[in-house]
Amino acid sequence: MPGIPQTYLSAVRAQLAVDLNCRSGDFGGDGLFFAEAADNPGRRPFPRGDHWLEMATMGGAAVVSASPSVLPRARRLLAGKTRDDAFAMPFVRGFGLFFLPAQNAAPPLPDGYQRETVERGRIPGLYAFPGFRNALQYDVNHPRPDVLALVARHDGGIAGMAAASADCEKLWQIGIDVLPGHRGRGLGAALVRRLSDEILRRGHVPYYGAAATNIASLRTALRAGFAPAWTAAFRCEMEPWRFLSADGGE
């Protein structure tokens, strides 16, 4: 199976380094690397709390990025742990798998469906249609704005929608929704891959994320010709007492 182009992987490493306040080379090493979280210019504007901890790996080392209130305890609790052991700690949660397009053919759009490309200026008009929360932000002032959508129509109505949010300058994230009566036909995978191609033509790198438990979404990514590129645990904000209980107290 053709792999992910190295240029896409390099773009992700560079962005994760900004997000986690580490070096891009840290992801190619072994073991654990620790970094103090910072609001670096250009980081993806996902919300953070006062006791934030995030972990990410691209298959080699894992980077642990934490706020100052958490980092010293995180270092102690994770001392001597392997990457896999660290991701299994009780305070680590919110696992997501993130995919990048690989070099293979796009799946066909099912018969009977027509697609329409919707540019950024027309996307607010799609907010009148409910049921597409995975694809659309439904907020014109969102910090990760909707910038491109691909709509599938069937018998005059909207059957499915893939849309991209500009999470940062280089990486655009794809979300997908297919209405219940149109699932199981390969429509979601076809929309995701075609939207990915549109994003690449505009000079950006598309990525697709899904919770590790969302088997249907993971299958959509694979059927769309995407391949896994990194794993992150991004809901690890822990109050200090939780850290104390995680290792039996102090």
Cβ atoms 155, 202 nearer than 8 A: no
* Cβ–Cβ under 8 Å, residues 70 and 100: no
Find the helix or strand (DSSP H, E) in which 209 lies: strand 205-211
When pLDDT is averaged across residues 189-215 and rounded to a whole number, the result is: 97
Average pLDDT for 10-38: 96
Q: Output the pTM of the full model.
A: 0.93
Domain range annotation of the chain: 6-100+232-246, 105-208+217-224
Q: What's the chain's average pLDDT?
A: 92
Q: Which residue has tokens 């709390």? A: 49
Q: Residue 114: exposed, middle, or buried by beta-carbon count in 10 A (0-12, 13-18, 19+)?
A: exposed
Residue-wise pLDDT tens digits, 218-240: 999 999 999 999 999 987 765 65
Sheet holding 32-36, edge to edge: 32-36, 62-66, 53-57, 226-233, 95-101, 205-211, 171-178, 157-166, 146-154, 114-119
Tell me which of 87-101, 136-150, 188-202 is least confident.
87-101
In which band, very low, low, confident or very high, does the pLDDT at 244 lie, cut at 50, 70 and 90? Answer: very low
pLDDT band at 241 (very low <50, low <70, confident <90, very high): very low
What single letter denotes the amino acid at residue 220?
T
Q: What are the tens digits of pLDDT across the range 75-114?
A: 999 999 999 999 999 888 889 999 999 977 788 999 999 9
Q: What is the pLDDT of residue 242?
A: 52
- Residue 2's pLDDT is what? 66
**For residue 29, what pLDDT band results from cuts at 50, 70 and 90?**
confident
Q: What is the pLDDT of residue 239?
A: 60
Q: Which CATH architecture describes the domain 105-208+217-224? A: 3-Layer(aba) Sandwich (3.40)
Phi and psi angles of residue 212, each rounded to the nearest 5 degrees, phi first:
-60, -20
Contact 53, 65 (CB under 8 A): yes
Nearest to 142 by CA among 114, 125, 166: 166
